[in-house]
Structure 1
Amino acid sequence: MNLDVYYSTPAHERTFIGRWLWIVQNKGTAQIRGDYIDCRIGPISQRIRKREIESIELGTFPRTAKPIAYRYIDVGYRPAENETAHIYLVPHIPGRSPWLTPVWTMNKHTLQVLEYLNEWREYHTSQPGLELFDPQKK
């Protein structure tokens, strides 16, 4: 599954700009493959392996920047022996401008992608007949 996403981090969310003005840092893509998520965001390329992921949860940006609850997917992962890092992903709806899409529609899509990611995380190759729900294929 390929996703166009906006991304942010907890460090950005704690800044003045992240809390009051601009909740996301950049846009890019997230490719979900067999055992990893490949994030390409601007000049940054980050591969997060399934075994490194500690949590995939739903979060909400501060209402100081977005008065209507705007949700994101919080992927918590631990690369090697380092502390847990987090990346916030806000998936776009394919074929629609995120600027012209209502927040509640984006939130619904974010929930569908979260469901897909949780299924992907729990998926075992020992079950070859299991089909993962893909929110982009309707």
Structure 2
Amino acid sequence: MKTIGWTLANAALVGALALASVGSAVVPATAQAQIGSNPLLWCFVGPNDQPGNGPLGRCTSFYPASSYRADFEVRNLPAGNYSYVWTNEVGMVLPCTTNRCNVTYRNGSGIVDLVSVTYTNLATGEAKTLGRTVAIGGPI
């Protein structure tokens, strides 16, 4: 039979994992632990009242505005030639073909979107996907 302590410990673990995952969708836990050398998807939403100088940028904004621009960049890829396919949460392919992409959002009341990029090493055929959650205005 499960004890109350066991139940509380599991609830705390689930809560901690949920908080750790906000804004880092699709980035494996090992990549989060070693951000400096692994490929990552940098993101910054502007306008913003907070700096985004960290290695992952700042993919959220609560700054009041009528439109926002989210800038994305795949960083820390090993040398090589890559192709890129960018998509949003509903599966729409974005018109970006390099390691950089930007998306404009209008009406900043409660926008949440998951932007993903699949990059393929053209020499090896190996493909990997990174993603970031964009959160603008409203509750996350």
TM-score of the superposed pair, with normalisation by structure 2: 0.29
The structure with more helix, counted as a fraction of residues: 1
TM-score of the superposed pair, with normalisation by structure 1: 0.29
Task: Say which one has the larger Rg.
Answer: 2
Larger relative contact order (Cα-Cα within 8 Å, sequence gap ≥ 6) = 2
